[in-house]
Amino acid sequence: MNTVTVSTEFETRATEALKALLGRVSAIKLRELQCGSQPRSRFTAILAHIEVFGHSHILACEVDPYAEPDRLRS
């Protein structure tokens, strides 16, 4: 598995949480994880290249360090 180096503690924590979550599902094999953010953007994008029962997928995640839990649910 190739993992792109992340630049902030927040990005590190987010990628580690995603890896841990995906690792709990036996049918999912993590192939590659890419993480990055745009300059002046508060969001971090994480792309997880995964395989589920032999089929390749890309899981796209957007992480916001300032989001409130109630707002995330909506």
- pLDDT tens digit string along 26-67? 999 999 999 877 667 778 899 999 999 999 999 999 888 777
What b-and-e string marks burial along 44-55, b requiring 16 or more CB atoms within 10 Å of the CB?
A: bebebbbeeeee
Q: Measuring CA to CA, which residue among 3, 26, 25 is closest to residue 15?
A: 3
Helix (H, G, I), strand (E, B) or coil at 30: strand
Residue-level pLDDT at 6: 45
Residue with the larger pLDDT of the pair 68 and 38: 68
Residue-level pLDDT at 5: 45
Model confidence, pTM? 0.74
Spatial neighbors of 36 by CB under 8 A, at least 6 apart, are 4, 44, 45
Residue with the larger pLDDT of the pair 9 and 2: 9
Residue with the larger pLDDT of the pair 68 and 72: 68
